[in-house]
Amino acid sequence: MADDGSHTRPQSSHVDIKKEKSAELSSKALQRPMGKNNDLPSEILHITQGYISLKTLIARLAQKTHRDLLKTVKDLAQMPTTYLKANSNGSQVMAVDDTSAENLAKKLRILKFVTEAHEAWTKALVITGWSRKAEDVSKIIDLKVHLDARLQDYVAAIDQMAHDKRGYIHARLPNPDIKTALEVMETGKASWMPQLGYIPPPQLDAYDIMEVFADLNTILSTRLQLNEYDTLPYYFKNFRIKSGRVTFIVAGEFELDLTIAEEAPEAQYWFLDLRFIFSPSLKILSPNLRFYLENKINEILSKDGLSGCYNFLHDLVLTYKINELRRQAVNLANHRWIHSVKVEVLNRSICIQYWIDRFHKAPKENKIPKNWLILGVHSGNTKTTGSSLKVTRRLGVRWFRESKEQKDVNIPIDDVDLSAELLLTTVTSKHITFILTSICEKLQSKPLYANQDLSLSLHISENDSVDSELKVQLTADVYLSVRIEPVSGLFIFEPPTRRIFDFQRRLNAVVVDPANRAHEYIEQLRYALLYDSLLAHGWTTGFKNLRNPGVNALEMKRVFKDAAQVHWYKRAGWPQECYLTISFNAAGENWSLVQTAIVSDPTNPKGVMVIPTQIKMPVLAVSPKISYKFMISIYVFSVALLSYYGNLKYLWSRRHLYMLIPNVKREALNIPFIYIKLSDLLTSLKNQPSTSKPWVKDFVRLSFHGVQSFSQLSILEKTQESDSQALGAKTQSNPTKEEREDQAIMIADVLMRKPIPRPLVFVQKDFDRDIVFYPTAGTFSIRLYGSIGTSLIADLTKNLVKIERLVNYIRVLEKYETTLICTKICLNKLSFSYKGILDLGNDGNTESTELVYRAAIGFSSENENHLFLEFEKGNPHIRIADYLTILLNSSLGLDGVAKVIPLTTLVLQVIEAIEEAWAKPAIREYGMVIVNARAADWYIIRYILTNQKSNTPNIIPQSQKFLFEVRMCNRKGEAWWHVRRYQLPKPSIPFPSEESENRVTKQNDLDEALGLLWKMSGKNWQGMRVGAVSRCEGIIELLTKVDKIVQDFSMKNIKKRKSCD
């Protein structure tokens, strides 16, 4: 009765609550502020909610109509315009009815607007008409709402009565049996109940009970050990007998207590108790469950015996375990593994799908794989076991990884301590192991990791999948730790830098097959880290990252084979077509220098850019550590390679013989040497006779020794400053963008066969800062500067020619070191000095003091084969400088000049002394002397003597000319100067005048005066009747005497003229 009342009470309360809610809703719907102008009763509420004034309605309708009109006009303006066809005379003819699609569309658009506006304003007109009866309409609305509310109350009341009536069915009570109740209360029994007449058994004491238990134990032991042992189920053979019952123990499932009631061997077993020995499970059976199991098991024991009992309980336990795992899985899906696990019931089995939110950000066009496991009952039969007594049904798991069943994977299940989370962790751990192992195997197949250039290690944890880790070395100093979070299945990259986190996010969001594609993102992450490092360190070292200059994909694929990424870099001061390229692939980084060029192509009038030249840089490390020092080394090395390429290209184009020999020294830049055949550069070595040995060995070693970088702006400013200082003007530097230029430094080493000339050993510092002589080693080195990528062979050849010429001239000066002394050596100038006579006496004798004259051989910068002589002021050889220059550039060269200068020094000195003597005022009135040098060894001394002194400047005095020839002759290998009177060719005069006769007479008088000298002889000179010869040492005395005779002759002539006058 109590139960019935409990059932009816909630129903009635439910009805009451429903009624209260409906009443509350109706009251809320009707509660409106009441107006004062309504003459209805107070029970009828006045409705004002949702009312809009007619003015507002019409204003809004007008705004909407105006807005629609503007939109229609804009739409008509955007519609295509119909173009009317022109007639034959060029004018347009308006058609009667234009049925074109454009015109019809415009008409439909106008019609649509007009129709909608008409309908709206028609409704407004109707509403305006109703507004005249607004008060009556308001009363009708209030009455309608009031009547609807009352009708709803009546319906709710009838419904409540029906619910109450149905609820009273369970509350009915039968009529009480008062007669039987009184009889039982008086007699303690009912007369209508039958008496069976059973005799109660005697009471048992403790001894009897122990005896009964012993008998039962004996009967059970005999029956199980002898009679039923062969038919006993395999899993029931583990039992114990105690206290008159047998307890069958099935490991991991249950303990069953049975007993017997008869001694017969075929007697039925009877259920006593059941206990589950797995967890979580029921420790104590509820009465209802116990009652059900007792009846069911006793029924099965009576029909199928122990085998049927085992099958029933085994299936019961399996079902119990599956339901318990389902309950735990649902709990995980709602709490710890929320948004990651989904549980579905498949009849008896359950399906647990995991990582359901793993690919929620993946593109929809990709087929997203699913991962799940099915937990159910396995038959226990396998290909190896076959039919056996041990085979029984058990819990089994089918694992579907990425929508494919994994049949060869054994997933253990702990059927004693049931844990759905442990089962999920086991499956996800195997999945994580599979993914990390696949990534590791694919990375190991790459050359970088296969050759152990970069480290790769995999750690798999059997206990906790969080500890499973794949450690990948991306660069020389960056290591990546790859883990997978077991709950969500997302990748976790460490260390969590910005770049690494970005690739982690992309991998988790895009990739739907991480086992086969995750390694691609790891490789791309490696490329990105290398690119970032190159940008950072390349910028500090002057390298600027550029885009592809225009090389097409086919050319890139031909040059950069198997390259995943190619980055272009350039440095200021490099040639425009030269670039540094770094290509990334699975084998490492390839550093190379490329040169682009535009070639003609019939499909492209502008041509196609190709890469004709690629120089691979021999970087030892496959994946080096990108640092400032490394980039500086790359910069220097690239300059060296470009310089070598330019020089070797120059040598190859001119078919010069060269050879590359490795550098055996262990240096930071192990660049080979270029050995060039020197005779290909110096034509003088080829033209040299075979009998004479060349001055150097026939090779030159060219090596790279660094690079210098400077600002072009600074050079320009220095040039402008030097020019302004030279011109004495002020200049203002204009602010321009600074550009840097790099120059390669190369050293050329040459080994000399002959010893280095002694003047070069003690050469001054201002000789040339780029040329150094090593006397102990017998070598000299030339430092060369040049733009990157250009050849320095031409500059080397120029310097070698200059040094060869310089060495030859120094050897010549050493040959004549008694007369010519080398004073200063420069690459473009060679200075030397020689001695002369300091003063000439009146008698022609020289004093002991010597005078030093200085001269220099200059090398023309415009014409390398042209030499010129420079003499300081006051040097007597200035008179014959042109002849000496011609001699210097002839085949005799400096050797001829070195012979001529000592031979002509004294004669030129005495000639200058004669000129200075005749230039004095005391002698100038008697005449003048002019010396003409017809060659370095041939001079004409012309005396012009005046006949009388002229006091009038406008009147030219009469003159008389006397010529003397001074010419060098060779007598028995010794130089002699021959001095004689030089006779001009006599003109043919038919009738000579008196003046001409007098002139001849005077010449005869001078010959008479000279005749005495021609018959005399002195120290180092000797008269020859018509002239005189003299060694170089005696030419001063000889010419002085000749000049003295001419001076005396001139004075006598003047005095005689004055006496005659």
Q: Give the list of residues 6+ apart from residue 255 with CB closer than 8 angstroms, or none.
A: 247, 248, 249, 274, 275, 277
Strands (DSSP E) contained in 90-234 are none
What is the pLDDT at residue 334?
93
How far apart (Å, rounded) are the C-alpha atoms in residues 731 and 715?
A: 15
Task: Enumerate the β-bridge partners of residue 1027.
Answer: 980
Residue 458 token pair: 């995999």
pLDDT higher than threshold 60 for residue 94? no
What pLDDT was estimated at residue 352? 95
Over residues 386-439, the pLDDT tens digits come to 566 778 888 999 999 988 999 888 889 998 999 999 999 999 999 999 999 999
Residue 670 has what pLDDT? 72
| Cα of 207 vs its chain's centroid, Å | 97
Copy the structure tokens of residue 260.
């017997």
pLDDT of residue 841: 53
Q: At what angle do helices 893-918 and 793-815 cross, to 10 degrees?
A: 60
Q: What's the pLDDT tens digit per position in 557-570?
A: 999 988 999 999 99
pLDDT tens digits, residue range 1041-1054?
999 998 888 888 77
pLDDT value of residue 718: 43
Strand order from edge to edge, sheet including 269-276 = 239-242, 245-250, 254-260, 269-276
Q: For residues 242 and 225, what is the distance between their CA atoms, to the nearest angstrom?
A: 15
CA 139/CA 44 separation, integer angstroms: 10
Maximum C-alpha span of the chain: 220
Q: What is the mean pLDDT of residues 494-517?
A: 91
Q: Cβ distance 856 to 830 under 8 Å?
A: yes
Distance between alpha carbon 1022 and the CA centroid of its chain, in Å? 93
Q: What would the two tokens of residue 797 be?
A: 């050849």
pLDDT at 961 over 80: yes
Confidence of residue 949 (pLDDT cuts 50, 70, 90): low
Q: How confident is the model at residue 846 (pLDDT cuts 50, 70, 90)?
A: very low
- Tens of pLDDT along 273-328? 999 999 999 999 999 999 999 999 999 999 999 999 999 999 999 999 999 999 99
Distances (CA, A) of 392 to 233, 387, 483: 11, 10, 40
d(CA 379, CA 196): 53
CA-to-CA distance for 880 and 894, rounded, in angstroms? 15
φ, ψ of residue 671 in degrees (nearest 5): -105, 135
- Burial readout 431-464 (b: 16 or more C-beta within 10 A, e: otherwise): bbbebbebbbebbeebebbeeebbebebeeeeee
* pLDDT for 523: 94
pLDDT band at 985 (very low <50, low <70, confident <90, very high): low
Q: Examine the pLDDT at 786 and tell me if it is beyond 70.
A: yes
pLDDT digits (tens, 9 = 90+) for 611-662: 998 988 888 788 888 889 888 888 888 888 888 888 999 999 988 888 888 8
Average pLDDT, the chain: 82
3-state secondary structure of 3: helix
pLDDT of residue 691: 53
pLDDT tops 90 at residue 354:
yes
Q: Where do runs of H (alpha helix) occur along 445-513? A: 447-450, 498-510
- Edge-to-edge order in the sheet of strand 491-494: 456-459, 469-473, 479-484, 491-494
Q: Return the percentage of the chain with pLDDT > 90, whole number.
A: 38
Q: Give CA–CA dist 196/38, Å, rounded.
A: 88
Count of residues in the chain: 1061
Give this prediction's pTM. Answer: 0.64
Exposure class string for 728-756: b at 16+ Cβ within 10 A, else e: eeeeeeeeeeeeeebbbbbbbbbbbeeeb
Identify which of 560, 533, 556 has the alpha carbon closest to the alpha carbon of residue 623: 533
Characterize 536-552 residue by residue with b for buried, 16 or more Cβ atoms within 10 angstroms of its Cβ, and e for exposed: ebbeebbbeeeeeeebe
The more confident residue out of 631 and 844 is 631
Domains belonging to the chain, first-starting first, are 54-75+104-168 (no CATH), 206-312 (no CATH), 314-381+390-418 (no CATH), 907-949+956-984+1004-1055 (3.90.1150)
Report d(CA 489, CA 428) in Å as an integer.
8
- Looking at residue 840, what is its pLDDT? 60
Kindly report the three-state secondary structure assignment for every residue of 954-985: CCCCCEEEEEEEEEEEEECCEEEEEEEEECCC
CB distance 869 to 884 below 8 Å? yes
Pairing state between β 658-661 and 604-616: unpaired
Pair type for strands 456-459 and 404-405: unpaired
Going by pLDDT thresholds of 50, 70 and 90, the confidence category of residue 35 is: very low
pLDDT at 1000 over 60: no
Q: Are 796 and 804 in contact (CB under 8 A)?
A: no
Peptide bond into 602 cis (omega under 30): no
Given CA atoms 17, 18, 20, 25 in this order, what sign does their dihedral have?
positive
How many angstroms separate the first and last alpha carbons of the chain? Answer: 194
321-334 residue pLDDT tens: 999 999 999 999 99
Q: Which residues contact 607 (CB under 8 A, 6 or more apart)?
A: 598, 599, 600, 601
* Cβ neighbour number for residue 779 with a 10 Å cutoff: 17
Tokens of 1008: 């008479």
pLDDT digits (tens, 9 = 90+) for 710-767: 664 443 344 344 433 333 334 344 444 445 677 889 999 888 876 766 666 555 555 6
Q: Which of 503-507, 828-832, 946-950 has the highest mean pLDDT?
A: 503-507
Strands 820-825 and 829-837: antiparallel
Mean of pLDDT values over 497-502: 93
Question: Environment class of residue 77 by beta-carbon count within 10 Å: exposed (0-12), middle (13-18) or buried (19+)?
Answer: exposed
Q: What residue spans of 919-1034 are helical by DSSP H?
A: 921-924, 994-1014
- Cα separation, 450 vs 34, in Å, equals 91
Percent of the chain topping pLDDT 70? 83
Whether residue 885 contacts residue 867, with contact meaning beta carbons closer than 8 Å, is answered with yes
Query: Cβ distance 337 to 320 under 8 Å?
Result: no
DSSP label of 169: G
The pLDDT of residue 193: 80
pLDDT digits 0-9 by tens, 464-498: 888 899 999 999 889 999 999 999 999 999 998 99
Partners of residue 566 on adjacent β-strands? 583
Asked whether 503 and 524 are in contact (CB, 8 A), the reply is: yes
Q: Is 751 helix (H, G, I), strand (E, B) or coil?
A: strand
- 54 contacts 131 by C-beta, under 8 angstroms: yes
Q: By mean pLDDT, which of 148-152, 376-380, 680-684 is the weakest?
A: 680-684
Task: Report pLDDT for 752.
Answer: 80
What is the signed CA dihedral for 277, 278, 281, 282, rounded to 10 degrees? 0
pLDDT bucket at 7, cuts 50 / 70 / 90: very low
User: Which pLDDT score is estimated for 687?
Assistant: 63
- Phi and psi for 928 in degrees, rounded to 5? -150, 165
